[in-house]
Amino acid sequence: MENIKTILRQTTPILISVFIILFIIFKTSTVIWLLSSLKPLIYAFILAFLLDSVVRFFERKLKIRRNQGIFLACLLLVGIVVTLFYIIVPKLVENINAISSFFLDGNIDITVILADLKNKMNNEYINYTTDSVLAASESLKAQFNDILRNTALSLMNAMTNLGSKMITLITSFIINIYMLAEKDKLINWCKSFVYAYFCESRAKRTIYIFKKANTIFKSFLTGKIIDSSIVGLICAILFTIFKVPYAALMGTVIGLFNIIPYFGPIIGSVPVIIVSLFINPPKALAALIIILVVQQIDANFLDPRIVGKNVGVSPFWIITAVTLGGNLFGVIGMLFGVPVLVLIKTILEEHMEDVDGSVKP
């Protein structure tokens, strides 16, 4: 009986891995369908993962039970969402509709736009750039016009699909509450599963790696979300003060992309500058200056204090992680590439220290 149990422990993980690999290779459409069906659970897990830090904060600071902490954390989340929907979301919808109408209802002609920009700015560098673009082939201009139209259509589709996703989000929120309430039971079940199918030393190592991953991912993502929210809010306020077009939407764009290390601020600034350039060219320079100043404040004061030492790797490794993650998995890979790299680096360094210590006399 013990031999059978040992065989099961050794073969079950291998069989599951082989099945998953074959399933992905030969049934890609089925995998997509499965992931789509599991969206409420996936969203609920992400939400519970992030809210758990808030729950534990309430438990420690207010000396209350976990259920009370869950209630306060969810109440806080609902309050933030309601505030966003009543104050910020209507402005965002208005901005998106205005931008979409500008590109879709109007006659988009890059030649007319650049000629108008040239007349308004009257700058030798702007003139040189616009002349170079105007000298481009008609096919290139047509491609640029198509890009503008497709961008506007994407914005409209995103707003249209938001309502259809509300049921999924509400379901995920409810599941998240149960996940938070049964956190200890779920963790104990996972530990029992690991000990059932792995030897004791390997099971301990596996659980240790998951604990490390939990700490690294939670601290990094929570810190980045807080930091990026502050950056987006500051940008939105400054954009409003200096009358940059669609300030609320542009500040939101900057905040969202700021979550991605290094490349995020650059990527986020591009649509802000382009939109400002088309709507009100002089404000494009104001937007660029605001972004540069806020990013300097973030890099030197906000990010080091909020995200802190959670990254713990040099800029070279961060850029490598973001680039590799982006190439493999797109925006999601750019976001999660850094904590994955930090986890791998931490585990390898600890292993090398153990090996180095074991060989020393």
- Say if residue 121's pLDDT is above 90: no
234 CB neighbour count, 10 Å cutoff: 19
Average pLDDT over residues 80-107: 67
**Residue reference for tokens 């939109």:** 275
Q: Which of 169-183, 186-200, 209-223, 316-330 has the lowest mean pLDDT?
A: 316-330
In tens, the pLDDT along 317-340 reads 778 888 888 887 777 788 888 888
User: Helix, strand, or coil here: 242?
Assistant: coil
Asked if the model's pLDDT at residue 185 lies above 80, the reply is yes
Instruction: For tokens 């963790």, name the residue.
Output: 187
Rounded CA gap, 231 and 257, in Å? 10
Out of 84-98, 184-198, 303-317, the most confident range is 184-198
Query: Based on the number of CB atoms within 10 Å of its own CB, is 205 exposed (0-12), middle (13-18) or buried (19 or more)?
Result: middle
Residue type, 358: S
Mean pLDDT of the chain: 76
Select the highest-mean-pLDDT range: 96-110, 215-229, 305-319.
215-229
- CA–CA separation, 224 and 335 (whole Å): 10
Give the type of residue at 79.
G
Scored b (16 or more CB within 10 A) or e, 143-181 reads ebbeebeebbeebbeeeeeeeeeeeeeeebbebbbebbe
Lowest model confidence (mean pLDDT) among 77-81, 137-141, 307-311:
137-141
Neighbours of 334 (CB within 10 A): 25
What CA–CA distance (Å, rounded) separates 201 from 239?
56
pLDDT per residue as tens digits for the range 214-247: 888 888 888 888 888 899 999 989 998 988 888 8
Written as six digits, the tokens of 268 are: 């986020």
pLDDT of residue 38: 78
